[in-house]
Amino acid sequence: MLTAVALGLLAGCATTAPAPRLCQKDAGFNERSAPTPDLWFALLLHGYDKDRNVVPRPAVDCSGAPVVWQDPTQDECREPGPPSEPLPPPAQLTEQDLVLETLQAHERLVWVITRRYTNGEGVGPVARVHTTETGFSVEALGTLRALPLRAKLRMERVAGTEVLVAEGDACTTDASEEQVCRRAVRIMPLRSHRFFGEAVSSKDKACLGAAWFPLSRELSFTLPNGLRRTYELASTVSFKADGITVQEQVQVSDSDPKQPAVAPRLYRRAQDHRELTVQDSVLTGSAPSLWVRMIEQQLLAGAKPLPEQEVVPLEAPPEPKDSAPKTASGAKP
C-alpha cells in the first residue's frame, strides 16, 4: 500500500506543471472564433475602456506592470538604442495599433501599440496567447518596442532559450524622391514567462548595443575638406539552433556638394559577421557591429554627421509578395 502511494507521489512530481496564466479573459464561441481588436486590447491592457476605446495613462499591462521601455544610453553602451522622441499618445486605440501573428492552432503572438515614436517605432504590451475552451489565456508577457509597419512576429529557439523576433519597416517622408523603406529587427529573450528587452553584452558583461538590428541604413558626414561621405549598410540576421549570425556589409562613397552632377565615387567596401547567443541567461555577442566601428573611426577623424531622413510611421507602399521567414535581409535586389 505504501509502495503504491509512493509511486503515485513520484508520478505526480514527474508530471510537467502547466504554464501559468498571467492574464485570462472569458469569451464565447463567436468571440473565440473571430476575436475583435477591442477584445485583445481588454485582454492585455489594465483598465481598458471598451466603449470609448481608450486606456488609462500611463499604460499598464494586464499583470499590473507599467508599459515602459529603456534602451541603453550613450554613456553605458558602445551603441545606444535608436534615436527618437515619443509622439503624443493617441486619443483612441484602433485596429492600426494591433499586430497579430498565428504561431500554431490556438496560439498567437499579440502586440498592442500604446505609443509611437518619431523614428517609426511603437511600444506596448506583447503576449503569447492561447485559446482555451472558455476564452483566452496569456502564457508569456512583456513590453515590446519595434517597428509596427508591416510587422512580423515569430518565436525562435537559440541555445535552448526561446526568443521573440519582431521585424518592421520605417519609410522616409521625402516627397521629392522615391520613398525608401528600411527594415529593422528587435530580439527579446523569453525567461520565466516574461519577454525581456535587454542589450547585447560581451563575454565580460560590457554592453555592446541594443538588441536592435537595422537591416539597411544610411548615414552621411561632412568631412573636414568639405566633401560628403555616405555610409550604406545592408545586413542579414539568421537564426540557428546554437546561435544568431548577423552579417554586415558597408559601402562608403564620397561626393562633392559643389558638384551635384558628378556621381559619387566609391571609397571603400567592408564586410564582417558576428555571432550572438544566449549564455548564462544573457544575450551575448562576439563583437560590436561593423557599422559602429566604422562610424566611430569617422567621428574620430573630425567628420560631422548629417541628420538622417525623417520617417513616417503609418504609411507604406504595398507589401512585397516574397519574404524569407528565417532570414531577414536589407540587401538590395
In this predicted structure, what is the pLDDT of residue 312?
A: 65
pLDDT in tens, 110-144: 999 999 999 999 999 999 999 999 999 999 999 99
Name which of 163, 141, 168 is nearest 152 in CA terms. 168
Residues 6+ away with beta carbon under 8 Å from 71? 80, 81, 82, 145, 197, 199, 210, 212
Three cell numbers at 212? 536592435
Is residue 189 over pLDDT 90? Answer: yes
Determine the Cα–Cα distance for residues 23 and 195; give it in Å rounded to an integer: 15
Task: Look over the chain and give the mean of its residue pLDDT values, rounded to a whole number.
Answer: 88
Total-model pTM = 0.86
Determine the Cα–Cα distance for residues 323 and 330; give it in Å rounded to an integer: 12
pLDDT in tens, 4-57: 444 444 444 444 455 667 899 999 999 999 999 999 999 999 999 999 989 999
Name which of 250, 249, 255 is nearest 228 in CA terms. 255
Q: Where are the domains of the chain?
A: 19-317
Determine the Cα–Cα distance for residues 130 and 53; give it in Å rounded to an integer: 24
pLDDT in tens, 243-265: 999 999 999 999 999 999 999 99
Rg of the Cα trace of the chain? 23
Q: Which residue has the higher pLDDT, 200 or 176?
A: 200
Name which of 188, 189, 117, 122 is nearest 150 in CA terms. 122
pLDDT in tens, 319-331: 444 444 445 554 4
Q: Look at the alpha carbons of 204, 328, 182, 216 in this order and tell me if their dihedral is positive or negative.
A: positive
Determine the Cα–Cα distance for residues 259 and 323; give it in Å rounded to an integer: 39
How would you class 279 by CB atoms within 10 Å of its CB: exposed for 0-12, middle for 13-18, buried for 19 or more?
Answer: middle
Contact 162, 156 (CB under 8 A): yes
Q: What is the DSSP letter of 96?
A: G
